[in-house]
C-alpha cells in the first residue's frame, strides 16, 4: 500500500504522513522547504522503519514540477495509489479589492491547480483499477465567506467544487473522494496566535479523521467533513 501526501513537511500534511506510515503505508511526500522535508522524512523513517519514504522538494505552484513529481512517484511505487492527499496550500489573508495584482493567480496555482494536475496524473489508473481514495484538504473557508478572506477563501471554495465534481465522476468507478474542511489548526498559518491552546485543533486530529474516513467498508464513503474547535470558530 502506498499514499501520496503533498505539503507534507509540517502541520497537517506531516501528521497525515506519519499516521499513514504508522498504519503500514509507504509514503511519497513533497514540499518546498528542503530542510523541513528532509527532517520529516527522517522522523517518519525513525517512527516507522518498515515504511518506504520518497521525499522530493516540489513547488506545487509549478505545473511541470507537479507532473515530474507524479512521474517520480509512479517510478518508485506504481500507478495506483491507495490514498492521494491533496494538502499543499498557502494561506495569505487579504481583501479582494486591496490584494496585489497576480495574488489570486499565485494562490490558485498552489491551492487548486496542484490538486487538479496531480489528481489527473493518477485518476485514470485508479479508475481502471476501481480502487483508491482521494482526500482534498479544503477549509471552513470553503463553506463560508469571511472578512479578509480574499483570494485564499476563493481558492478554497474552488477546491471544494473540484472535490464535489470529482466525487460525482468517480461514483461508478470505485474511487472514493472526500473533502476535509478544518477550521483553525495549530500549524504555521497560526504562528503568533496568543489565545488559549484549546482554541486550536491539533494536526493529528485531522490525520485521525482522514484515517477514520478511509477505514470504512468499500460500499461506504464520507463525502464532506467539516471540523472545528470544540469552542467554535475564532473571531
The predicted pLDDT at position 98 comes to 87
Cell of 228: 472545528
The predicted pLDDT at position 187 comes to 73
The predicted pLDDT at position 204 comes to 96
The predicted pLDDT at position 146 comes to 84
Q: Quote the crossing angle between the two packed helices 63-77 and 114-129, to the nearest 10°.
A: 30
How would DSSP label each residue in 140-178? GGGT---TT-HHHHHHHHHHHHHHHHHHHHHGGGT-EEE
Question: Average pLDDT for consecutive 10-residue bins of the chain (235 residues)?
Answer: 97 97 98 97 98 98 98 97 97 88 95 98 98 97 90 96 98 98 80 69 96 97 96 80
Q: Write down the catalytic residue from 113, 146, 152, 214.
A: 152
The predicted pLDDT at position 188 comes to 65
| Closest by CA position to 82, among listed 23, 138, 146 | 23
The predicted pLDDT at position 131 comes to 97
Q: How far is CA 8 from the centre of its chain?
A: 8
The predicted pLDDT at position 147 comes to 87
Considering the segment(s) 2-227 as one domain, its CATH architecture is: 3-Layer(aba) Sandwich (3.40)
Active site residue 152: yes
What residues does each domain of the chain span? 2-227
**Which tens digits make up the pLDDT trace of 128-164?**
999 999 999 999 999 998 888 899 999 999 999 999 9
Amino acid at each position: 500500500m502506498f499514499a501520496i501526501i503533498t505539503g507534507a513537511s509540517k502541520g497537517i500534511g506531516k501528521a497525515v504522513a506519519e499516521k499513514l506510515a504508522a498504519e503500514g503505508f509507504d509514503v511519497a511526500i513533497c514540499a518546498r522547504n528542503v530542510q523541513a522535508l528532509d527532517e520529516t522524512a527522517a522522523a517518519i523513517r525513525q517512527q516507522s522503519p518498515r515504511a518506504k519514504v520518497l521525499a522530493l522538494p516540489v513547488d506545487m505552484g509549478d505545473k511541470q514540477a507537479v507532473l515530474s513529481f507524479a512521474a517520480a512517484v509512479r517510478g518508485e511505487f506504481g500507478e495506483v495509489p491507495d490514498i492521494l492527499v491533496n494538502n499543499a496550500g498557502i494561506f495569505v489573508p487579504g481583501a479582494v479589492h486591496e490584494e496585489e495584482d497576480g495574488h489570486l493567480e499565485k494562490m490558485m496555482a498552489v491551492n487548486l491547480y496542484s490538486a487538479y494536475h496531480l489528481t489527473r496524473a493518477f485518476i485514470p489508473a485508479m479508475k481502471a483499477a476501481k480502487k483508491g481514495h482521494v482526500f482534498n484538504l479544503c477549509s471552513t473557508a470553503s463553506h463560508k465567506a469571511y472578512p479578509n478572506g480574499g483570494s485564499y477563501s476563493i481558492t478554497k471554495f474552488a477546491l471544494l467544487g473540484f472535490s464535489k465534481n470529482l466525487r460525482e465522476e468517480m461514483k461508478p468507478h470505485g474511487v472514493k473522494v472526500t473533502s476535509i474542511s478544518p477550521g483553525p489548526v495549530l500549524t504555521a498559518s497560526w504562528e503568533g496566535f496568543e489565545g488559549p491552546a484549546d482554541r486550536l485543533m491539533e494536526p493529528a486530529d485531522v490525520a485521525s479523521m482522514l484515517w477514520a474516513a478511509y477505514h470504512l467498508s468499500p460500499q461506504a464513503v464520507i463525502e464532506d467533513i467539516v471540523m472545528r474547535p470544540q469552542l467554535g470558530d475564532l473571531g
